[in-house]
Amino acid sequence: MSFTPAVAEQRFVLEHVARISELGVEDDILDAVLEGAGAFAAGEWAPLDRAGDTVGAQWSPEGVTMPDGYRAAYQAYVEGGWGTIGSPEAYGGQGLPFALSTAVLETLGSANMGFALCPTLTVGAIEALAHHGTPEQQAGYLPKLATGEWTGTMNLTEPQAGSDVGALKTKAEPRGDGTWSISGTKIFISFGDHDLADNIVHLVLARTPDAPAGTKGISLFLVPKYRLNADGTPGDFNDVRVVSIEHKMGLHASPTCVLSFGDNGECIGELIGPEMGGMRAMFTMMNNARLNVGLQGVQVAERASQRAVAYARERVQGSREGKPASIVDFPDVRRMLMRMKAQTMAARALVYLAAAQVDRANAGDAQAKALLDLLTPLAKAHGTDLGCEVASIGVQVHGGMGYIEETGAAQHFRDARITPIYEGTNGIQAADLVGRKLNMDGGATLTALLAQMKADAQDSGLIALIDACAEVTQHMLAADMDDRLAGSYPFLTMLSTAACGWLMEAQGRIAAGAGGDPEFLAMKRAAVDFYVAQIVPEAMGLKAAAMASAEVLYVVQADTFAA
């Protein structure tokens, strides 16, 4: 099935939710970028999506090989300048807003979700170096990362250090010349090795000698796969070996690597930012990465929806009013398709709203920064939950064919399932919401957001949900941490749904008054009506769980918690 870029919808959400005109993007630039990215992704990346799944990235002792066509398609991406959209102008990028680069990345990922993870990680490396690198590091690496000629990775996880990053053991020892000798093993490193680019820039969390235990003792290092020659070109191999890749349920186009640093004592790294300042630098990467994982939810939801709608229109089965009917005509199939559309739109609006705050925060807007911090766990967790839900409905719409791999619906279902896990599990996001994000300002940002939502909302069910979120917020602020955590996930879902309802309802009002493609506007209004009338009330059902205490969870002790 061919992929149709969601250009009209992206433009609408960028205009009316992200308010991209305030970010200095002219209409003609907006159109050129969205349409150009769409044509590129549909033409060059989407056709490789199936082979990404069926062939997948392959490991050998020499390294990881991508399926046929991937290297050429990646080079086309670099040459087309698609890597430079959001990169800093000082290093050859176009310096366009993060919100716009979000739309471009969405399109690439809808075309080929596993492949698009590679540029996603490069963006994280650029962020970390741009904020925390020395001028020499920036000059040496950023121009190549900004174009995508080199790619970046994030190296956090070790076998015993997953969600608990502070438990990591990778070592960095001073070599006496200002550089560091890196040794250790990292796991779950996406695109930790591949044959797409001439160098790979690993950003590695490691522990320096005598560093304190936990996250306070962690530093961030720049560790290229190939050290740079004096002229800046990639030179000697830097003793970073890919030991294996994981056998995953999905996302096979993305090699998930076990990387071994310094097996021969010849892995040289440079400190990024101050010693023991690793977590702060890492969070710079991680926060945007979290939005980009939320965006993966949008990517897969969009593609799964397109596939399901196409199938439902085509598949004739039974009859309605005496005539043979396509299944799209049946009410429960319509309900599924409408839910897919509405949830995809909702996830996109939430992620784009957060992305727009990145630009405003970068421009010095402290309120936008606070809103971004609050929205990040919502965009990551709820965006990915919706991606999984929509992909699952997509399988269902296909009936028995959905379970057959050749149809393609199953791939989306398998691909999507990693997104609630990586880049901080959704449980970690919920904990971040009720812990750090509520505590940062005593709930002031959230309270202000809810007040804004309530002022705008018109539907009585939506108003009731917003009120319920305000009530849970007050409950959370007064509760101890275990009770907050016990209700954290239902609360995150309620709050995200309320925010999406607010954004959807506002879009519906605009669509009712706007000129433009009547079919697009009718679909938007129908999806908004469905969301507000059916999905918003569902979230009210989560209030009891959000306010439940931890007590029921601990009645049974861990050692007798029966399987």
Among 39, 55, 421, 463, binds its own copies (CB under 8 A): 421
> What's the Cα-to-Cα distance from 253 to each of 2, 55, 190, 415, rounded to whole Å?
18, 8, 10, 10
Q: Cβ of residue 213: shortest distance to its own copies, in angstroms?
A: 11
Using rule CB under 8 A, residue 489 touches its own copies: yes
Using rule CB under 8 A, residue 538 touches its own copies: yes
Amino acid at position 148, single letter? G
Tokens read off for 11: 């433009």
Among 56, 269, 278, 420, binds its own copies (CB under 8 A): 420
Q: Cβ of residue 298: shortest distance to its own copies, in angstroms?
A: 15
Which DSSP state fits 66? P
Using rule CB under 8 A, residue 129 touches its own copies: no
Among 77, 82, 188, 352, binds its own copies (CB under 8 A): 188
**Pairing mode, strands 180-190 and 256-261:** antiparallel
Candidate ranges 91-99, 236-244, 291-299, 323-331; the one touching its own copies (CB under 8 A): 323-331
Q: Cβ of residue 324: shortest distance to its own copies, in angstroms?
A: 9
Report the candidate in 168, 204, 370 with the shortest Cα–Cα distance to residue 287: 370
The 3-state DSSP class for residue 230 equals coil
Residues 492-511, one symbol each (x = binds its own copies by CB under 8 A, - = not), give: --------------------
Residue 557: what are its φ and ψ, rounded to 5°?
A: -75, 155
Using rule CB under 8 A, residue 60 touches its own copies: no
Write out the DSSP string of 415-465. Answer: HHTTTTTSSS-HHHHHHHIIIIIHHTTTTHHHHHHHHHHHHH--SHHHHHH
Residue 195 and residue 66 in contact, taking contact as beta carbons nearer than 8 Å: yes
Active-site annotation holder among 106, 302, 389, 423: 423
The number of angstroms, rounded, from the C-alpha of 206 to the middle of its chain's C-alpha atoms is 25
Among 230, 455, 478, 562, binds its own copies (CB under 8 A): 562
User: Of residues 514-533, which lie at the interface with its own copies (CB under 8 A)?
Assistant: 519-520, 522-523, 525-526, 529-530, 533
Residue 283 or 403: the one with the smaller Cβ distance to its own copies is: 403
Report the candidate in 186, 310, 199 with the shortest Cα–Cα distance to residue 256: 186
Using rule CB under 8 A, residue 364 touches its own copies: no
User: Of residues 275-314, which lie at the interface with its own copies (CB under 8 A)?
Assistant: 305-307, 309-310, 313
Residue 60 or 560: the one with the smaller Cβ distance to its own copies is: 560
**Pairing mode, strands 316-320 and 268-272:** unpaired
Write out the DSSP string of 77-130. Answer: HHHTTTTSTTS-GGGT-----HHHHHHHHHHHHHH-HHHHHHHHHHHHHHHHHH
> What's the Cα-to-Cα distance from 551 to each of 55, 491, 492, rounded to whole Å?
48, 17, 20
Using rule CB under 8 A, residue 471 touches its own copies: no
423 is catalytic: yes
Residue 91 or 191: the one with the smaller Cβ distance to its own copies is: 191
Rg (CA), the chain: 23
Candidate ranges 70-78, 261-269, 276-284, 487-495; the one touching its own copies (CB under 8 A): 487-495
Using rule CB under 8 A, residue 244 touches its own copies: no
Q: Cβ of residue 372: shortest distance to its own copies, in angstroms?
A: 23
Tell me how far apart the alpha carbons of residues 118 and 6 are, in angstroms, rounded to a whole number.
21
Among 91, 461, 474, 503, binds its own copies (CB under 8 A): 461
Using rule CB under 8 A, residue 248 touches its own copies: yes
Q: Is 453 exposed, middle or buried (0-12, 13-18, 19+ CB in 10 A)?
A: buried
Tell me how far apart the alpha carbons of residues 218 and 238 are, in angstroms, rounded to a whole number.
22
Residue 303 and residue 394 in contact, taking contact as beta carbons nearer than 8 Å: no
Q: Cβ of residue 32: shortest distance to its own copies, in angstroms?
A: 23
Residue 9 and residue 348 in contact, taking contact as beta carbons nearer than 8 Å: yes
Residue 215 or 362: the one with the smaller Cβ distance to its own copies is: 215
Residue for token pair 């925390």? 132
The number of angstroms, rounded, from the C-alpha of 120 to the middle of its chain's C-alpha atoms is 8
Tell me how far apart the alpha carbons of residues 456 and 184 are, in angstroms, rounded to a whole number.
53
Residue 25 or 168: the one with the smaller Cβ distance to its own copies is: 168
Q: Cβ of residue 131: shortest distance to its own copies, in angstroms?
A: 27
Using rule CB under 8 A, residue 223 touches its own copies: no
Tell me how far apart the alpha carbons of residues 494 and 197 are, in angstroms, rounded to a whole number.
43
Candidate ranges 73-81, 195-203, 351-359, 554-562; the one touching its own copies (CB under 8 A): 554-562
Residues 135-174, one symbol each (x = binds its own copies by CB under 8 A, - = not), give: ----------------------x--x-xxx-xx-------
Residue 71 or 248: the one with the smaller Cβ distance to its own copies is: 248
User: Of residues 329-358, which lie at the interface with its own copies (CB under 8 A)?
Assistant: 329-338, 341
Among 28, 210, 247, 264, binds its own copies (CB under 8 A): 247
Among 212, 482, 512, 516, binds its own copies (CB under 8 A): 482
The number of angstroms, rounded, from the C-alpha of 122 to the middle of its chain's C-alpha atoms is 13
The number of angstroms, rounded, from the C-alpha of 458 to the middle of its chain's C-alpha atoms is 31
Residue 43 or 166: the one with the smaller Cβ distance to its own copies is: 166
Using rule CB under 8 A, residue 228 touches its own copies: no
The 3-state DSSP class for residue 52 equals helix
Tokens read off for 164: 């608990």
Using rule CB under 8 A, residue 388 touches its own copies: yes
User: Of residues 250-269, which lie at the interface with its own copies (CB under 8 A)?
Assistant: 250
Using rule CB under 8 A, residue 51 touches its own copies: no
Using rule CB under 8 A, residue 109 touches its own copies: no
Tell me how far apart the alpha carbons of residues 434 and 422 are, in angstroms, rounded to a whole number.
20
Among 113, 293, 486, 506, binds its own copies (CB under 8 A): 486
Tell me how far apart the alpha carbons of residues 77 and 2 are, in angstroms, rounded to a whole number.
19
Using rule CB under 8 A, residue 512 touches its own copies: no
# residues near its own copies by CB under 8 A: 100
Which residues are known to be catalytic? 423
